[in-house]
A = this chain, B = another copy of it.
Amino acid sequence: MTTISVEQALAGHVAEGGEVTVRGWVRTRRDSKAGLSFVNVSDGSCFASIQVVAPATLANYESEVKKLTAGCAVIATGTLAPSQGQGQSFEIQAESVEVVGWVEDPETYPIQPKAHSLEFLREVAHLRPRTNLFGAVTRIRHCLAMAVHRFFHERGFYWISTPIITTSDAEGAGQMFRVSTLDVANLPLGKDGAVDFGRDFFGKETFLTVSGQLNVEAYCLALSKVYTFGPTFRAENSNTTRHLAEFWMIEPEIAFADLNDDARLAEDFLKYLFRAVLDERGDDLAFLAERVDKTAVSKLEAFINSPFERIDYTDAVALLQKSGQKFDFPVEWGLDLQTEHERWLTEQHVGRPVVVTNYPEQIKSFYMRLNDDGRTVAAMDVLAPGIGEIIGGSQREERLDILDARIAQFGLDASHYQWYRDFRRYGTVPHAGFGLGFERLVVYVCGLGNIRDAIPYPRAPGNAEF
């Protein structure tokens, strides 16, 4: 007798006729008039559950098996046999069905075998992984995360875990969360009457990081190819379907590289990830295609087969102005592109992913490399059909004199950036990188409408139970 996962049982890891044990939770039970019960058992190892055929001859058939409801935990042992049910390879003809855990008050069990609203499921985040949808999202999220690490590892990148608690604001903008151990009922004050952060845990005012990019750049100038994959934080009102206060970000950084290298890396990267999901999570994608997003499979296949288009920002503005399309937001050189503009470019104009490059310097960050025209920077946004911007990146300003001027121009406190300018004094090289929000990727792949469904425990103002 071998204990195996439902995935292994369905994939025939044990020969037909073999004795197996599976362990999991009941999805449904159906009793036939012939004196048999069909109990579908899921263990989360794959999308499908396995059918356990329980005969009336089981000692606990009347007392237990016929009382099984959704969510009960069972250990089923029996013979692996070809399934007569449709769409299933194997079933288990049970010799025993042990009930490990009952469901208290089955009538009120929140995860009934029926459709639930996503709003409701967000309120029971600790139970929603038991649903088909969140099982699928969790497995796809895992598959994407593994592919992220594998992609970089195979290409000689090193993973760097940059600081979460930080004193500097990588973007020079954006609302940050303060991290403190000071007693709010009794804040220490300095002579000037202001709070004395010198007495806080780190002896300074500290915040949650908004990006690991600046930190990882220093590692790039030693190890050539590096990346971050860790949580980042924005204290902006996240009560929208597109923003999270806490999200995971991926930020590769490459040395001896320019914006072209960066765009190529972004293209290879996204295609590798989507290929992995198609190869490894066909079961979950098929469910999503049926219930959530008809294009769940086809959009990934189309993406993989499309060479990315490149458009200069200046050309993109001209195209948008000539489009004849009515937009809510103005289109004008010097203004940032809005999602509606991005989606027109990638969906209507090109019909495949687009890299828009060389944005006006004043709408981008201080660390992006100034182009020779003096009015644009070597920045890029990767736009994908169906979602708009999915990656933002740039070549970094490696020239110390220009970086110093940019820090001043943006009105930043130069003392916060001493270490960042410092490594450019020593063997500076052209380098570039990009960043993407991991949950945005999950939203895109799964076709989710709300980014809070792409993270294991949703979080939003007013909802921090977990």
Contacts and interface: CB of A to CB of B under 8 A. Distances in A.
Contact of A230 (B109, B159, B230): B230
Interface string A186-212: 010000001100000111101010000
Interface stretch (A57-65, A122-130, A300-308, A321-329): A122-130
Contacts of A463: 202
Interface string A201-244: 11110101000000100110111110000110101000000000
Given A163-B457, A203-B461, A465-B167, A180 B178 contact: yes
Nearest to A25: B427
A256 interface: yes
A203 B427 CA distance: 48
Contact of A246 (B145, B165, B167): B165
Contacts of A102: 427
Contact of A135 (B185, B201, B223): B223
A429 interface: yes
A339 interface: no
A221 B138 CA distance: 13
Contacts of A26: 427
A175 interface: yes
A147 to B, nearest CB: 10
A461 B166 contact: no
A431 to B, nearest CB: 10
Contacts of A160: 138, 456
B179 A178 contact: yes
Interface in A402-432: 419-420, 422-423, 425-430
B71 A427 contact: yes
From A7, A24, A177, A203, name the one whose CB has the most chain B CB atoms within 10 angstroms. A177
Contact of A164 (B5, B149, B206, B231): B231
Interface string A148-184: 0100010010111111111110000001011111101
A195 B203 contact: no
Nearest to A217: B126
Interface residues of A, number: 104
Nearest to A238: B201
Contacts of A341: none
Contact of A203 (B5, B161, B462): B462
Contacts of A153: 142, 146
A177 B166 contact: no
B423 A466 contact: no
A455 interface: yes
A245 interface: yes
B204 A464 contact: yes
A248 interface: yes
Nearest to A179: B177
Contacts of A5: 156, 224
A44 B158 contact: yes
A139 interface: yes
Contact of A149 (B146, B235, B246, B455): B146
A158 B136 CA distance: 11
A445 interface: no
A45 interface: yes
A94 interface: no
Contact of A45 (B111, B127, B224, B246): B224
28 contacts: A26-B427, A43-B223, A43-B255, A44-B158, A45-B223, A45-B224, A73-B427, A100-B428, A101-B398, A105-B425, A126-B215, A127-B422, A135-B222, A138-B158, A139-B223, A161-B456, A163-B466, A164-B231, A164-B233, A164-B246, A165-B233, A166-B464, A175-B181, A178-B181, A184-B184, A184-B195, A204-B464, A231-B231
List 8 tightest A-B contacts by C-beta distance, closest first. Answer: A44-B223, A202-B464, A129-B222, A126-B218, A73-B427, A101-B428, A104-B425, A142-B158
Interface of A: 5, 7, 23-26, 43-45, 71-73, 75, 100-105, 109, 111, 125-127, 129-130, 135, 138-139, 141-142, 145-146, 149, 153, 156, 158-168, 175, 177-182, 184-185, 187, 194-195, 201-204, 206, 208, 215, 218-219, 221-225, 230-231, 233, 235, 245-246, 248, 255-256, 398, 419-420, 422-423, 425-430, 455-457, 459-466
